[in-house]
Amino acid sequence: MRTGQQIIASGRYQTLNPWLEVEKIREDFPIFKEKIYGKPLVYLDNAATTQKPQSVIDATIHFYSRDNSNIHRGVHLLSQRATEAYEHARVKVQRFLNAAESREIIFVRSVTEAINLVAQTYGRKHVEAGDEVLISAMEHHSNIVPWQMLCEEKGAALRVIPINDDGELLLEEYEKLLNSQTRLVAVVHLSNALGTINPVKEIIEMAHQWKVPVLVDGAQAAAHLEVDVQDLDCDFYAFSGHKLYGPTGVGILYGKADLLDSLPPYQGGGDMIRSVTFEKTIYNVLPYKFEAGTPNVAGGIGLGVAIDYVNEIGLSNIAAYENELLSYATEQLCGIPRLRFIGTAHQKASVLSFVIEGVHAHDVGTILDQEGIAVRTGHHCAQPVMARFQVPATARASVAFYNTRDEIDVLVKAIHKVIEVFK
């Protein structure tokens, strides 16, 4: 595993520092007026959830105060306005991912629900006893447990792509795992615990040589990387609104139209049907076949506005700025005694996970909180990753485009205080 100095020397981070009016951007986020224990909020828990710009908050309030109505079913004006706004948000998502058609965009509650949807539709239809599902050793629990449940039910096997000491997938081992019994590959795009950016396009190409579909968990990636599902040629892609500066409780599953059309519904109820009698139900067309019941209308609209906000800044600008910030944070942290990074991949974004010798991660987080700094501590819903690196937990600082070098300096000073406390 490389040291912090070797990480910097490798030059993997972009040095481009685009003109980004960060202080002006921060004014769009009302939460940054908050004080934590009398100190300015330094929010470095963006991998868990991002803060919301005023435009997203306003869009949600506007819906509930001006347009609140159920969608798709009403002939009255409020229902028509709500339906139009919700379906327009679907088109925004389609364009954001460069999906071929808006009917390939399924609204769900979260990436967790999106993965479960695929497991319970594609998985139940295509996975049988003796078959195999491939995931990686760096997956979030949401991309492990649904496949375990499916494999236990079907008598299939769950195979795991190993990672090296830097937190990178071993593609030669992945290639060996692919075979005629492989029915699906499900892999994370950007690791929430390590920050690793996986070569998903190459992973997809290798799977498709065996005619195996690939699901990509884009929960972390969508806010930091430009995603083009047609270029990737992935079969499924999932991301969450709340990690993209949008509301909680809304997520997206992209799926290729032909593949989605071939699958059975995930849940039964209203709106996913065309006709119901006691003898037979005829299901609705895409995307509504997979959207049973009243959806999170306000959340969907808010997500559309969040996409507008991100597009206005530009994901390429965001990525360049965040990479520069991550490079600076890595450089500052790597000189701290007793601090060790967990996750030192060549291709990395957003996340810096670390441990401090002799200090439990929860103690690190508690002291940082007293300094007004929000980081995440624990296993990050990635216990197999912790086991791989033989640590019980890590402290995780994760950046966004509204973070600054000054905030990194505050973090570094606070970590020195942690070390002083635990001499």
Each residue's pLDDT tens digit, 264-291: 999 999 888 889 889 998 888 999 999 9
Residues across the chain: 423
How high is the pLDDT of residue 12? 38
pLDDT at 7 (0 to 100): 45
Find, among 230, 257, 301, 259, the residue nearest to 65 by Cα. 301
Longest CA–CA span in the chain (Å) reads 73
In CATH terms, the fold of domain 57-311 is Aspartate Aminotransferase; domain 2 (3.40.640)
Listed as ranges, residues in the chain with pLDDT below 50 are: 3, 5, 7-18
Give me the residue label for tokens 């980004």.
20
| pLDDT reported for residue 5 | 46
| C-alpha Rg value of the chain to the nearest Å | 22
User: What residues are labeled active site?
Assistant: 381
For the chain, the structural domain boundaries read: 4-53+314-421, 57-311
Amino acid, res. 132: E
Mean pLDDT of the chain: 94
Q: Nearest Cα to 47, choosing from 243, 187, 180? A: 243
Give the pLDDT of residue 402.
97
pLDDT at 17 (0 to 100): 44
Measured at the alpha carbon of residue 191, what is the angle toward residues 57 and 380, in degrees to the nearest 5? Answer: 75
Name which of 300, 246, 306 is nearest 107 in CA terms: 300
The CA-based angle 286-289-293, given to 5 degrees, is 130
Q: Cα separation of 253 and 107, whole Å? A: 7
Give the DSSP letter of residue 391: -
Nearest CA to 401 among 36, 39, 44? 44
CATH number of 4-53+314-421: 3.90.1150.10
User: For position 11, what pLDDT does the model report?
Assistant: 42
Tokens of 45: 């828990």
**E strands present in 112-165:** 132-136, 157-161
* Alpha carbons 53 and 68: distance in angstroms, whole number: 21
